[in-house]
Structure 1
Amino acid sequence: MSELLRMESLSVTYRTEEGPLPAVRDVDLVVDRGEVVGVAGESGCGKSTLASTVLRLQPASATVTGTVLVDGEDVLTMRWADLRALRWAGASIVFQGALHSLNAVRRVGQQIAEPIRLHEPSVSDAEVDRRVGELLEEVGLPVSRARAYPHQLSGGQRQRVMIAMALACRPALIIADEPTTALDVMVQAQVLDVLSALVRERGVGMLLISHDLSVLADMSDRIAVMYGGRVVEQGRADQLFTDPLHPYTTALGASFPRVGDPAARYAPAGLAGDPPDPRELPPGCSFHPRCPLASEECTRAEPVLELKRPDRSVACVKVPVTGGAR
């Protein structure tokens, strides 16, 4: 598989009235063509900031360091003309709030057509209309919905329109930031089926951001778990939640009740406490105040994300290196 996205030593800090807020800290991540890489973690762990950095969408208050390579080109040092060409055509984003992302006073067909007209000005009106119809059908909507306004569509239909817009210029990389958060379970399953088919049939790469572990486990090839702005565990999806190594990954998996298990129903194993304030991170491992395995050793220095098992990186001093990882 060819590499589409590479993040190296990526850090994002926001300037606020209360002082610097380090939202993302020293993240390394790779997405290959035809691969779905999921990012998990509680609210505030830096997932959405990570997603927006791929196309340099941070506000002016953000300071970004490190490297973000999309198809070999560094987004952070790219000229504005090249960045505009990359957006939509090279990589695109599906945001979580479709109703807020769509223009309320324009028909959805016009909004799907807009990136095509901007990036491919030589395409005829008839060809644009044909491609809009194909995109709608590809995401499971009738062509007639092109004339609808966003308020005339259901939540699931609006989300499908957002996916159609993201695919309009045939990008190789899609960033999906909580694409099913506001949807009911049945519609969520339909939207996820659409995304899965797109990766499988088009061979695109996808960075999937979600707090829903079941979605990530079902969709992803690999998963990165974030806490306190850092990746604390990374590995294959089929291993990460069946055999978690980092105590935080274990707690995330245990927080979901198991259907048919009375013990889980009446005594859900949630995680006590809240994630740390990024402005006031505890010394050492940022998870140690909530960690059941924490000891004095965990307060001395922040653990390095390192290979602990084949294909499994973990940032925890309590997890030994075994299984020929080195």
Structure 2
Amino acid sequence: MSDLLHVRDLHVTYRTDEGPLSAVRGIDLRVGRGEVLGIAGESGCGKSTLASTVLRLQPASADVTGAVLFDGADVLTMRWGDLRAVRWAGASIVFQGALHSLNPVRRVGVQIGEPIRVHEPEVGDDEVDARVTDLLEQVGLPAARAAAYPHQLSGGQRQRVMIAMALACRPDLVVADEPTTALDVMVQAQVLDLLSGLVRDLGVGMVVISHDLSVLADVCDRIAVMYAGRVVEQGPADEVFGRALHPYAAALSAAFPRVGDPASRYAPAGLPGDPPDPRESVAGCSFAPRCARAVERCRSEEPPLEEHLPGRTAACWRIGEP
């Protein structure tokens, strides 16, 4: 499978009044055509920073090193005109919180059609309207909803509009940042089924970002678990979710209750402590202060991300030890 997206040794540091804040530290990821990669982790681990950097949407206060190769071209160094062509037409993003991402005073059909008009100026109004209708139907909404304003739609409908907008210019890659946040369980399942179907039917590559490992296990081929700006485990979705190697990935998996499992129902599955402050450097493994299995080496040496099983990488000194 050829790489549609290859993130290579990516570092993102924000300049703040209180000093540099390291949000992403040495990320390496690959996404192939027709593949879904999930990015999991707590709030503040760098997931959304990674998502925005894929399309070079990071703020001016961010210092970025490394490479983000989309179809072989580095997004971080390409000229503005080339980057403008990549956005929407080559790769698009579904932002977290559709209500805040949609223009409240414009009808959603106009907003879905806008990227088509910008990137394909040769397309006439009638064809744009026809494509908007097709896109709405593709995401399970009637064509009449094109005339609605965002506030007239439910949360799930707004999320579907965002997905339709992301697909408007038929991109090869879609980045979905927390696409099911604040949705009820039934609507969440519908949106996840929709995303899975789009990858299957259209053959696009997709990156889905979520703090919920169970959400990713349902729709993703592979999962990368992030902690404190690093990937600490990566592998096939069912294996990471069911048999995690890294203690943090195991804690994320345990936080999801399993129906019919008494131990899951009655045993507390929370993780004590908080992620480290990204403004402070941590000697050793950043997860060590919260890890019940940490030893002295964990507190003094940062473990590399290494392959421990075929297709499974993890950054932990204690893997394989009792």
TM-score range, shorter chain: over 0.9
Following TM superposition, by how much is the alpha carbon of 1:281 offset from its aligned partner in structure 2, in angstroms? 3.6
1:75 aligns with 75
Distance of 2:292 and 2:133 partners within structure 1:
54
Following TM superposition, by how much is the alpha carbon of 1:320 offset from its aligned partner in structure 2, in angstroms? 4.2
Following TM superposition, by how much is the alpha carbon of 1:197 offset from its aligned partner in structure 2, in angstroms? 0.6
Q: How does 1:278-289 map to 2 (within 5 A)?
A: 278-289=278-289
Q: Alpha-carbon deviations, 1:98-145, whole Å to 9, x = none?
A: 111000110100000100000000011111111000000000001111
Q: Alpha-carbon deviations, 1:200-221, whole Å to 9, x = none?
A: 0000000100011111000100
Q: Give me the identity figure in percent.
A: 75
2:134 aligns with 134
Q: How does 1:87-236 map to 2 (within 5 A)?
A: 87-236=87-236
Following TM superposition, by how much is the alpha carbon of 1:269 offset from its aligned partner in structure 2, in angstroms? 1.9
For 1:105, the aligned partner's letter is: V
Q: Is the 8 A contact 2:212 2:252 kept in 1?
A: no
Following TM superposition, by how much is the alpha carbon of 1:251 offset from its aligned partner in structure 2, in angstroms? 1.2
2:24 aligns with 24
In the alignment, structure 1 residue 253 sits paired with structure 2 residue 253 = yes
Distance of 1:128 and 1:194 partners within structure 2:
22
For 2:179, the aligned partner's letter is: P
Q: Alpha-carbon deviations, 1:18-45, whole Å to 9, x = none?
A: 1100000000000000000000111111
Following TM superposition, by how much is the alpha carbon of 1:306 offset from its aligned partner in structure 2, in angstroms? 0.9
Task: Report SS of the residue matched to 1:45.
Answer: coil
1:308 aligns with 308
1:324 aligns with none
Number of residue pairs aligned between Structure 1 and Structure 2: 321
Task: Report SS of the residue matched to 2:37.
Answer: strand
2:292 aligns with 292
Task: Report SS of the residue matched to 2:242.
Answer: coil
Following TM superposition, by how much is the alpha carbon of 1:11 offset from its aligned partner in structure 2, in angstroms? 0.5
Distance of 1:263 and 1:26 partners within structure 2:
37
Bigger drift between 291-300 and 219-228 goes to: 291-300
1:86 aligns with 86
Distance of 1:314 and 1:275 partners within structure 2:
18
For 2:218, the aligned partner's letter is: D
Following TM superposition, by how much is the alpha carbon of 1:77 offset from its aligned partner in structure 2, in angstroms? 0.1
Task: Report SS of the residue matched to 1:278.
Answer: coil
Distance of 1:176 and 1:73 partners within structure 2:
21
Q: Alpha-carbon deviations, 1:169-216, whole Å to 9, x = none?
A: 000000000001011111111111111110000000001000111110
For 2:299, the aligned partner's letter is: T
Distance of 2:315 and 2:59 partners within structure 1:
30
- The Cα RMSD (Å) is 1.1
Task: Report SS of the residue matched to 1:280.
Answer: coil
1:47 aligns with 47
Bigger drift between 140-149 and 249-258 goes to: 249-258
Distance of 1:70 and 1:122 partners within structure 2:
26
Task: Report SS of the residue matched to 1:38.
Answer: strand
2:2 aligns with 2
Q: Is the 8 A contact 1:96 1:182 kept in 2?
A: no
Q: Is the 8 A contact 1:5 1:30 kept in 2?
A: yes
For 1:163, the aligned partner's letter is: I
Distance of 2:176 and 2:241 partners within structure 1:
21
For 1:233, the aligned partner's letter is: E
Distance of 1:164 and 1:282 partners within structure 2:
42
Task: Report SS of the residue matched to 1:28.
Answer: strand
Q: Alpha-carbon deviations, 1:28-63, whole Å to 9, x = none?
A: 000000000000111111000010100000101000
State the TM-score, normalized to the length of structure 2.
Answer: 0.98
Going from structure 1 to structure 2, the CA distance change for 1:241 and 1:82 (only over 3 Å counts) comes to same
Q: Is the 8 A contact 1:36 1:222 kept in 2?
A: yes
